[in-house]
Amino acid sequence: MAVLWSKQIAGTRYQVRTAGRTRRLYTDGVFHSQYQPERLHTGGVWDLLMMPALFYAPGHIRRILLMGVGGGSVIHLLRHYIQPEVIDGIELNPVHLQIARRFFGISPSLANLVQADAIAWLQNYSGPRYDMIIDDLYGEEDGEPRRAVDLDSSWLSTIRKHLSPQGVMVLNTMSSRTLKQAACFTHAPLSKSFQSAYQLHLPVYHNAVGAVFRQPVQARGLRRRLAEYPALNQLDFRMRRLK
């Protein structure tokens, strides 16, 4: 894998590496994003972050909030498969936003990118609710990814406050155990706000992606939508319903 671009800024090493047409973003050795313009699905966790939108009929997901942009891999997937009216991407790291625009093709027509602390931004947000809110908030510590905020009742209540009555909350966690400990499953008053939940994961990744819905949904709805997209339908992922 060749290094297309590399720079050290304030003690942090950023790299954009290439393998053929594929580009990858690494920050202090942590793999953050992957993009291939001729094949938007990545075979990685970014596919799973987009997939909960496919539980719904086309046109249902109109407004999406992405917290933790990285290079913007999931933005391309959302635009191609979901075609929402609005994607707001909130990213703390200004270098990530520069890389997303320069190397990953994230233009203003694809998403509104905002450089801000997503936690404070959402706590102070007073605009229209979102149909889909994706929490992919990670930093780096000792060369490993580390969540930027715990999935406790305070934080997930903040997300729920800005989620539409028929919306979905998507949580990227590092393991099934971490996902099951999220407050939407362990905090009774909060869990009553949601009607369905699924875990999505890939055999080659540790990540467990939670899709937590404010209305009842069925796995067969997702399967029907996936059948419309042969590339996604071939993705080797696992799904199970959570209580």
- Looking at 8-136, list the stretches that DSSP marks H as alpha helix, in order from N- to C-terminal side: 45-50, 73-81, 94-103, 118-124
Model confidence at 37, pLDDT cuts 50, 70, 90, reads confident
Tell me the pTM: 0.96
pLDDT given at position 177: 95
Q: Are 60 and 52 in contact (CB under 8 A)?
A: no
Angle at 194 between CA 156 and CA 183, to 5 degrees: 35
Q: Name the CATH code of domain 42-241 (choices 3.40.50.800, 3.40.50.150, 1.10.10.10, 3.40.30.10).
A: 3.40.50.150
Question: Quick one: tokens of 73?
Answer: 């891999």
- Specify the pLDDT at position 16: 97
* pLDDT (tens digit per residue) in 161-218: 999 999 999 999 999 999 999 999 999 999 999 999 999 999 988 899 999 999 999 9
Domain limits, the chain? 42-241
